[in-house]
């Protein structure tokens, strides 16, 4: 019997979601309108942020956040090399230069201690990335930002639904958890709604903030720099373009999908946490690889379940992946350090810049995790992983 192929990540869309999209498609308005506004209110309410601005991708949302932060030609920003290229690319759109701070070896998140030595007079922004949905220790990042007058944009594209416990109880009271995106320790948090993310709109993204001035800039940047609130007596049609902007609008039928999905977010995260716990228990203390940690302060959204091969296996990672795929286990690798891509190499970034991120990349493999993965499939993945690894035992 052929083995069932288990993919590494996929969306979960049910008949309710489809009905909501169809309802909008049958209505008079299909691009931005009341449904998009409803999705924005829903995102703000769900995370605890004051404002949400939806975009047509996580990448355009990052572009908007960097613009709203005032980033321009010649500025520098500091981010993690262990991320999707979009995090760095969106700053390059504005003529700014990314600098890469090395990561923690186990979470894959930026190592806060590595940021300060990279600061220069040109630094404008700090961009921590919540890798795999595990919150960054953002209080440390925010404290640095306060001292050096910098803006923090959190790339939370993996982390909708994650929570963290603040060490600073003045905001949150004792031992309470805060949602990623509530922006207590970031000026803006950016989300993606790509199909493998916590919820999907096909393509889509959002910026969350508590700052009204940033909110206004994000909204006009999304629509050609146009301010629609200019109507005057006698000229109710008036709108003015105040600065250069883009068409980064999300359609209402995508927003309908997003809003419907948002109602399922808590269940999706619960399912992801259940799968991660099952993997963690099954793989505890195995001789082949390390399992992903969850810090005391964090409740991960478990966007990815990543393993890190131990010495003796990391050298044969290509073979491990090949054998896992052959055994029907869909896996992916996150991430080639951004500066190692040819485009960045040609700009002068050199290998060895972030040794921990390079080592992490050599070891990392992401296993299947998504809400519709059944307990039987999880058990199959565990069995097949053990079978492949024991064949390769050193
Ligand atoms: C960490 C990170 N940042 C940014 C993005 C960009 O989001 P999108 O694909 O929605 O443009 C992604 C998406 O893959 C991501 O994983």
Interval 15-55: pLDDT, tens: 999 999 999 999 999 999 999 999 999 999 999 999 999 99
Question: Comparing 23-27, 101-105, 139-143, which segment has the lowest mean pLDDT?
Answer: 139-143
Q: Is the CB of 250 under 6 A from ligand 1?
A: no
Q: Is the CB of 64 under 6 A from ligand 1?
A: no
Q: Is the CB of 162 under 6 A from ligand 1?
A: no
User: What pLDDT is attached to residue 382?
Assistant: 98
Which has the higher per-residue pLDDT, 295 or 175?
Answer: 295
389 CA distance to ligand 1 middle (Å): 31
Rg of the chain's alpha carbons, rounded to an integer? Answer: 21
Region for 183 from its dihedrals, namely left if φ exceeds 0, alpha if ψ lies in -120 to 50, beta otherwise: left
Given a contact cutoff of 8 angstroms between Cβ atoms, the answer to whether 129 and 79 are in contact is: yes
At residue 171 the predicted structure's pLDDT band, cuts being 50, 70 and 90, is: low
Q: What is the C-alpha separation between 324 and 315, in angstroms, rounded?
A: 16
Q: What is the C-alpha separation between 86 and 338, in angstroms, rounded?
A: 9
Q: Does domain 265-391 have CATH number 2.30.30.140?
A: no
Q: Report whether pLDDT(174) > 60.
A: no
**Element spanning 53, H or E:** strand 51-55
The proportion of the chain whose per-residue pLDDT surpasses 90, expressed as a percent, equals 89
Ligand 1 atom nearest residue 60's Cα? 11
Would you list the domain boundaries of the chain?
15-262, 265-391
Ligand 1 atom nearest residue 303's Cα? 16
Question: Comparing 182-186, 260-264, 285-289, 343-347, which segment has the lowest mean pLDDT?
Answer: 182-186
128 CA distance to ligand 1 middle (Å): 13
pLDDT, tens digit, for every residue of 154-164?
Answer: 999 999 999 99
User: What pLDDT is attached to residue 243?
Assistant: 92
Q: Is the CB of 178 under 6 A from ligand 1?
A: no
Alpha helices in the chain (DSSP H): 15-25, 34-47, 58-68, 86-92, 138-148, 169-172, 212-222, 252-262, 265-283, 317-326, 342-346, 355-363, 375-391
At residue 228 the predicted structure's pLDDT band, cuts being 50, 70 and 90, is: confident
pLDDT, tens digit, for every residue of 54-70?
Answer: 999 999 999 999 999 99
Mean pLDDT on 343-353: 97
Question: Comparing 98-112, 217-231, 317-331, which segment has the lowest mean pLDDT?
Answer: 217-231
**Could you tell me which of 38, 8, 29 has the C-alpha nearest to residue 257?**
38
At residue 173 the predicted structure's pLDDT band, cuts being 50, 70 and 90, is: low
The dihedrals phi and psi of 80, each to the nearest 5 degrees, come to: -95, 145
The proportion of the chain whose per-residue pLDDT surpasses 70, expressed as a percent, equals 96
The residue contributing the CA closest to ligand 1 atom 10 is 58
The residue contributing the CA closest to ligand 1 atom 16 is 84
98 CA distance to ligand 1 middle (Å): 16
Q: Is the CB of 130 under 6 A from ligand 1?
A: no
276 CA distance to ligand 1 middle (Å): 22
pLDDT, tens digit, for every residue of 304-323?
Answer: 999 999 999 999 999 999 99
User: What pLDDT is attached to residue 201?
Assistant: 98
What's the fold here for domain 15-262?
Answer: 3.40.640
């Amino acid at each position: 019997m052929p083995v069932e192929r288990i993919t590494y990540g996929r969306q979960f869309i049910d008949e309710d979601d489809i009905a909501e999209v169809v309802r909008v498609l049958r209505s008079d308005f299909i691009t931005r309108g009341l449904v998009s506004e409803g999705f924005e209110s829903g995102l703000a309410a769900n995370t605890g942020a004051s404002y949400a601005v939806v975009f047509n991708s996580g990448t355009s949302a990052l572009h908007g956040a960097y613009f709203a932060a005032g980033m321009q030609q010649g500025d520098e920003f500091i981010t993690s090399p262990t991320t999707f290229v979009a995090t760095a690319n969106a700053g390059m759109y504005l003529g700014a230069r990314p600098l890469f701070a090395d990561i923690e070896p186990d979470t894959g998140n930026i190592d806060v201690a590595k940021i300060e030595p990279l600061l220069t007079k040109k630094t404008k922004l700090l961009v921590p990335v919540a890798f795999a949905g595990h919150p960054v220790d953002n209080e440390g990042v925010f404290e640095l930002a306060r001292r050096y007058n910098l803006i923090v944009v959190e790339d939370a594209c993996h982390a909708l639904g994650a929570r963290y416990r603040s060490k600073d109880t003045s905001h949150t009271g004792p031992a309470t958890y805060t949602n990623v995106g509530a922006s207590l320790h970031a000026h803006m948090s950016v989300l993606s709604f790509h199909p493998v993310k916590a919820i999907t709109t096909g393509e889509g993204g959002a910026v969350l903030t508590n700052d009204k001035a940033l909110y206004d800039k994000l909204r006009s940047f999304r629509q050609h720099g146009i301010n629609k609130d200019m109507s005057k007596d006698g000229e109710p049609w008036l709108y003015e373009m105040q600065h250069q902007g883009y068409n980064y609008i999300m359609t209402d039928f995508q927003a309908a999908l997003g809003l419907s999905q948002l109602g399922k977010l808590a269940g999706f995260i619960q399912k992801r946490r259940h799968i991660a716990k099952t993997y963690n228990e099954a793989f505890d203390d195995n001789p082949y690889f390390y399992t992903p940690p969850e810090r005391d302060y964090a409740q991960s959204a478990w966007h990815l379940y990543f393993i890190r091969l131990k010495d003796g296996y990391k050298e044969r990672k290509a073979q491990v992946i090949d054998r896992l795929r052959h055994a029907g286990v869909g896996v992916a690798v996150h991430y080639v350090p951004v500066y190692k891509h040819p485009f960045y190499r040609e700009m002068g970034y050199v290998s060895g810049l972030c040794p921990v991120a390079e080592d992490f990349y050599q070891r990392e493999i992401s296993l299947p995790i998504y809400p519709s993965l059944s307990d039987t499939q999880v058990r199959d993945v565990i069995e097949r992983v053990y079978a492949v690894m024991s064949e390769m035992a050193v």
